Amino acid sequence: MGIKALVGKKMSKKVKFMNEEIEISKLSVAEVMDIQEKAKGLKEDDSEGFNVLKSVIRAAVLDAGELTDEDFSSFPMDELSKLSDEIMKFSGLGKDSGK
């Protein structure tokens, strides 16, 4: 199989979120670049951090693109943070990247 046949293919794994298994996918280069662009504003505006976290989760979690901001507000913050960290590690960013 050639590399061209793999364009758009997603790699995924199951992780725990609120004691349930959900599926996350590795972020593509384009998604990582988009998130990094959004994260540039973090130094000036700390409230932007929650928006970046939502972007990471919406990009990588099955059906999370359908979640509203209100839906996100109903989850525990530490669970969302752990999920975002897990996505970033799985996508090759941060320590333990790619695992």
**pLDDT 10s digits, 19-73:** 999 999 999 999 999 888 888 767 665 667 888 999 999 999 989 999 999 999 9
Residue 1 has what pLDDT?
Answer: 79
Alpha-carbon gap, residue 35 to 51, rounded angstroms: 10
Higher model confidence: residue 41 or residue 82? 82
Residue with tokens 């975002």: 84
Q: How far is CA 64 from CA 40, 44, 45, 54, 78, in A?
A: 23, 27, 25, 9, 17
- Is residue 92 helix, strand or coil? coil
**What is the domain partition of the chain in residue ranges?**
17-90
Strand (E) or helix (H) holding 48: helix 48-60
Contacts of 53 (CB under 8 A, 6+ apart): 80, 81, 84
Alpha-carbon gap, residue 42 to 55, rounded angstroms: 14
Residue 95 has what pLDDT?
Answer: 56
Alpha-carbon gap, residue 61 to 37, rounded angstroms: 20
pTM of the predicted model, to two decimals? 0.83
Residue 81 has what pLDDT?
Answer: 94
Q: Is the pLDDT of residue 96 over 60?
A: no
Residue 83 has what pLDDT?
Answer: 96
